[in-house]
Amino acid sequence: MKLYGIPNCNTVKKARAWLAEQGIEMPFHDFKKSGIDAALLQGWMKQTGWEKLLNRQGTTWRQLPDEVKQHTSDEAAALALMLDKPSIIKRPVLELEGRVHVGFDADTYARLFNR
**Angle at 18 (CA atoms; ends 44, 24), nearest 5 degrees:** 80
The crossing angle, in degrees rounded to 10, of helices 75-84 and 38-48 is: 130
Please report, for residues 26, 35, 36, 65, 93, the alpha-carbon distance to residue 102 in angstroms, rounded to integers and kept in the order given: 16, 17, 15, 25, 5
Residue type, 98: G
Catalytic annotation present for 9: yes
For the chain, state the CA radius of gyration: 14
- The active-site residue, picked from 3, 4, 9, 94, is 9
Q: Which residues are catalytic?
A: 9
